Amino acid sequence: MPEPLLSVRDFSVVYDVDPPVEAVKNVTLELQRGEILGLAGESGCGKTTLAYGVQRLLRVPAVITSGSVTFHDSSGTAIDVNSLGAEEMRRFRWNKVSMVFQGAMNALNPVTTIGAQLDDVFLVHRPELSRRERRSACEELLEIVAVGRDRTRSYPHELSGGMRQRVMIAMALALRPQLMVMDEPTTALDVLVQREILRKISQLRHEFGFSVIFITHDLPLLLEISDRIAVMRDGTIIELASAREIWERPQHEYTKTLLASFPRLTGERGVLVR
């Protein structure tokens, strides 16, 4: 039997504005250990709000109005994320769950070296490490994501977009979390660099055994990388199935429309669905 890592039950988020906006509506979802779960849907459907919500990263006016989030730790402990205090939540993030934010490759500090920014992660979360141990860990991380140990002294502007994105993935991997949430990690990259990043994510997932929630509006991309895909629309998950089932036997009309909206490289010409 698959072992669950994250269980979300009847989860709802409202933006408390006038009038209130129901961004996420009674979402129930279970992520398996070691799985890549794709979260697909058009812009504004609630994908990012859901991802932020389960990590309690939402800010005012967003309010979690109902639901539970349970993290099944590898130690065998079930962690009720909603009940964690501020200090417990600080330790939970990055140690258990990390996130690669949307537009993350532009989130690096432009006046600080890559090595110093990676080092900050260990200074905050692993203060018992010596300076030499931290430097070694930073170099190892850059090697793991195929950036190169010598780049610790580089500044962000000296790296390509793909390399900066891999540095952000290295940061997310630094504390060996059990779950990595990736919000549109390849949107600003060209197709060849996208493929490099996707191959690297798959390789690292197999190597380290973490789970991934991969958020994007690009359904064909999710078909390539995901084990299962959840399709969101208007704050709800309307279809959840394996990537093969979504491709071969989509059940919901919206899923069929998403699939039909991407032109095929082979076969007869058809009408592009908008």
pTM of the full structure: 0.91
Mean pLDDT taken over the chain:
90
Question: Where do the domains of the chain lie?
Answer: 4-260
| Secondary structure, 3-state, 185-233 | CCCCCCHHHHHHHHHHHHHHHHHHCCEEEEEECCHHHHHHHCCEEEEEE
Q: What pLDDT does 271 receive?
A: 61
Residues ≥6 apart with Cβ < 8 Å to 108: 114, 117, 156, 164, 167, 168
Cα–Cα distances in angstroms (integers) from residue 250 to residues 109, 165, 233, 236, in the given order: 43, 32, 15, 17
Q: What is the percentage of the chain residues whose pLDDT exceeds 90?
A: 70
Give the pLDDT mean for 138-164: 92
pLDDT band at 103 (very low <50, low <70, confident <90, very high): confident
**Which range (102-106, 142-146, 152-156, 174-178) has the least confidence?**
102-106
* End-to-end CA, the chain: 40
The pLDDT tens digits for 223-260 are: 989 999 999 999 999 999 999 999 999 999 999 988 88
Q: Which CATH architecture has domain 4-260?
A: 3-Layer(aba) Sandwich (3.40)
Q: What pLDDT does 240 receive?
A: 96
Rounded CA separation 143/254 (Å): 42
Could you tell me if 30 and 36 are in contact, meaning their C-beta atoms sit under 8 angstroms apart?
no
Nearest to 30 by CA among 253, 267, 237: 237
Instruction: Identify residue 156 by its one-letter amino acid code.
Output: P
Give the residue with greater pLDDT, 212 vs 263.
Answer: 212
Q: Does residue 50 register a pLDDT over 90?
A: yes
The structure tokens listed for 53 are 């919500």
Give, as one character, the DSSP assignment of residue 67.
E
Q: Does residue 216 register a pLDDT over 80?
A: yes
